[in-house]
Amino acid sequence: MVALQVARNLIGGAANKEIGAVIVSQQDKPSPDSVMPEGAMAVSVIGLGKLGAPLAAVASSKGHRVVGVDLSASAVAAVNAGIAPVDEPGLQDLIDRSKGRLTATTDIAQAVVDTEITLIIVPTPTGPDGRFINDHVLSAIRAIGEGLKRKQTYHCVVVTSTVMPGSTGGVIAETLARASGRVVGRDVGLCYSPEFIALGTVVRDMLNPDMHLIGECDPRAGAMLEKLLASCVDRKVPARRMNLINAEITKIAVNTFVTTKITYANMLGELCEHLAGADADVVTGALGMDTRIGGKYLKAATGYGGPCFPRDNVAFATLARGLGARADLAEATDRMNHHQIDRLTATVARHARPGATVAVLGLSYKPDTEVVEASQGVMLAQALVRAGYKVMVHDPKAMATARRSLADAVHYAATPAQCAAAAEVLVVTTGWPQFAALRAEDFKPAPARSVAIDCWRVLDADRLAPVCDIVVPGRGDDHIDPAATKRVAA
């Protein structure tokens, strides 16, 4: 997952673009906090987007001296002024605590000269065939190579961006060797260590990961990276060190497994909707008690979205097909995830005819971010417009980013209450806590009665009962006539 801002700014969209050598104003006077503790490292982070800026801030907040690198002069200037270059909860606090230890520049080569380990976290966009494109990583690697020519000491290079299995030990290692004139695995270390995080909780996830995944070309590089990662968390975290190819497979396998789990819960939810008395929340609550299954991500709600889950699942299937292996499960997961919009549209149609006003609450793919990539809310709004509904939308953060996809096809409401007052059907597609504040007086007055499809169970059903019928995905009683169940059972 890589932030869109980095995609626009870092490497400038051209794989072979020369990297400027201008260092934008550094903070001049180090504070008392800038003194590096024993064992601290000098670290460079290439890419100051949604993941790179938090990564740099986490490391510097833990006592390391960090140089962030980005081609965006505004991002560099922001970091040097002590201002978070992106909107991410907790990031500004980390930058405040990092005063004197965190600086930024546009010069990759000089950053490499001045540090001992470099982490690359730049975009790897998905190509038309479903594979990740390494152009930005390779451009950064070439610039790193120029820096390595200007120093004699050992240096460790870490690819944090998600890449296709075979990339790090293949084209990336080859490019690093050519650009630096060094032997990879002897004179320069190379690791692959992706993050397992979600936008909106990046800082929390980086400080409290389940594990550190380290793919290494040699034990020295792996040990160096493990030491850095172990110092950047709030508690002891297990490390899994392995070769490069296994780490690359693990990264997309984790996300593919999670998407399968999400889709299974949604499949179960649709089944429950056809059986009177069935409740997917009750069923998944029991399933999650089984330690072989676990409760995380096992919730019948909306399909998955965002910049990581959909593309990693597709990449896994693409990789398998290219190798002659079968990936039927990944392919079925992708198809079932696309089906969730049709399923939700059909639920709306059960409660309102085309021409009615339907409000979509939630346009970001998850709470606490403005990112709308593969957003269920945006896709639902588009589907409802195509079906002939008048669509209103609201999101606490993502109105501007959603407008790029929805344009003038929908009405943009200033508040959730504005949606509730105008819509016959309200659909909660993102679990923003702000939506829980809706009151009965926000809805149409009697005798009118609204319907709220609460995908994330955030509305207060008791408080809204006088004016609104709450429909919850995965509950049979909310969707069908009990007589239908008896006929099926018979």
Structure tokens at 96: 């405040």
Contact between 32 and 178 under an 8 Å Cβ cutoff? The reply is no
Cβ contacts of 272 within 8 Å, gap of 6 or more: 278, 279, 280, 283, 300, 474, 475, 476
Secondary structure of the chain in HEC code, one letter for each residue: CCCHHHHHHHHHHCCCCCCCCCCCCCCCCCCHHHCCCCCCCEEEEECCCCCHHHHHHHHHHCCCEEEEECCCHHHHHHHHCCCCCCCCCCHHHHHHHCCCCEEEECCHHHHHHCCCEEEECCCCCECCCCCECCHHHHHHHHHHHHHHCCCCCCEEEEECCCCCCCCHHHHHHHHHHHHHCCCECCCEEEEECCCCCCCCCHHHHHHCCCCEEEEECCHHHHHHHHHHHHCCCCCCCCEEEECHHHHHHHHHHHHHHHHHHHHHHHHHHHHHCCCCCCEHHHHHHHHCCCCCCCCCCCCCCCCCCCCCHHHHHHHHHHHHHHHCCCCHHHHHHHHHHHHHHHHHHHHHHCCCCCCCEEEEECCCCCCCCCCCCCCHHHHHHHHHHHCCCEEEEECCCCHHHHHHHHCCCCEECCCHHHHHHHCCEEEECCCCHHHHHCCHHHCCCCCCCEEEEECCCCCCHHHHCCCEEEECCCEHHHCCCHHHHHHHHC
232 part of the active site:
no
Structure tokens at 408: 């003038």
Cβ contacts of 145 within 8 Å, gap of 6 or more: 175, 176, 178, 179, 180, 181
Catalytic-labelled residue, pool 191, 308, 455, 468 = 308
Residues marked active site are found at: 308
